[in-house]
Amino acid sequence: MGTYKEKLSILSEMIAFARVDHTLKESEYQFLLKVATNLGVEKKVFDHLLSEKSPKVILKTQAERIVQFHRLLLLMNVDQEQHKKEVSTLYNIGLHMGLPPAAISQVLEVMHNYPDKVIPPDVLINIFKAHYN
């Protein structure tokens, strides 16, 4: 995985996305904390990101962008609720990452076919692969 600055940027983006509905639920906080831990970011640093954004770093590879899109998708569904604003924001984040619009739409549609709307990573990757071929 990328640099420490990239990791902080990833977490900042996720925190901002979690707050699209103007709240940060406990389930979202716990999910974000697990991501931080997996990225090697200490809880103290993570908690600081809740009040102070990290500078935006553009993810270099398509694979990194797809992984980040998947994290955001999981975050959106962790509280078992979906708001139109969350779906719209996630779609727009995917576009800004340079992901294919048709692939993003397909992912947002297909997620309803899985328990808790958690798309398996291999299914997600295959959707994006199909749109790059």
Q: So what's the pLDDT on residue 94?
A: 96
Report the domain count for the chain: 1
Average the pLDDT over 44-65 and give the result: 92
Q: Which residue has the tokens 């708001």?
A: 83
This prediction has a pTM of 0.91
Instruction: Please write the tens of the pLDDT for every residue from 92-126.
Output: 999 999 999 999 999 999 999 999 898 999 999 99
Q: So what's the pLDDT on residue 97?
A: 94
Q: Which residue has the tokens 């990328």?
A: 2
| 133 pLDDT tier (thresholds 50, 70, 90) | low
Domain that residue 79 falls in: 4-131
- Among 112, 33, 32, 118, which residue's Cα sits nearest to residue 70? 118
Give dist(CA 115, CA 77) in Å, integer: 11
Question: Would you say how long the chain is, in residues?
Answer: 133
Evaluate the CA torsion angle 124, 129, 130, 131 in order and state its sign.
positive
